[in-house]
Amino acid sequence: MADEVILKNSLDGLVQQYKSELCKRLETSKDQYDDLPFEFKALELALELTCTSLGSQVKELELEVYPMLDEWASTISTLNLEHVHRFKGHLLALNQRVQKVCDKIEHLMNDDGDMAELVRVQVPLACNHLQQSQTCSHSLNAKTRPQPRFHGPITTII
Residue 5 lies in a domain: no
Angle in degrees, CA 14, 22, 26, rounded to 5: 175
CB atoms within 10 A of CB 135: 9
Residue 50 lies in a domain: yes
Residue 60 lies in a domain: yes
Q: 43-65, pLDDT tens digit by residue?
A: 888 888 888 888 888 888 888 88
Do 55 and 105 fall within a single domain?
no
Do 25 and 50 fall within a single domain?
yes
pLDDT at 135: 35
Do 21 and 67 fall within a single domain?
yes
Q: How does strand 5-8 pair with strand 154-157?
A: antiparallel
pLDDT reading at 157 higher than 80: no
pTM given for the model: 0.52
Residue 1's nearest CA partner among 25, 28, 36, 26 is 36
Residue 22's nearest CA partner among 1, 11, 6 is 6
At 38, the amino acid letter reads: F
Could you tell me the residue range of the domain that residue 82 belongs to? Answer: 78-111
Counting the structural domains of the chain, the total is 2
Do 58 and 20 fall within a single domain?
yes
Residue 132 lies in a domain: no
Buried-state track 101-121, b at ≥16 Cβ within 10 A, e below 16: ebeebeeebeeeeebeeeeee
Task: Name the residue with higher pLDDT: 8 or 130.
Answer: 8
Residue 146 lies in a domain: no
Average pLDDT over the chain, rounded to an integer: 70
pLDDT at 109: 75
Helix (H) or strand (E) holding 148: none
pLDDT more than 70, % of the chain: 67
Categorize the per-residue pLDDT at 37 as very low, low, confident or very high, splitting at 50, 70 and 90: confident
Q: What is the dihedral of CA 112, 116, 117, 121, to 10 degrees?
A: 150
Do 64 and 27 fall within a single domain?
yes
Angle in degrees, CA 52, 58, 60, rounded to 5: 105
Residue 36's nearest CA partner among 135, 97, 118 is 118
Q: 75-124, pLDDT tens digit by residue?
A: 777 887 787 788 788 788 888 878 888 888 788 778 777 666 665 544 44
Residue 127 lies in a domain: no
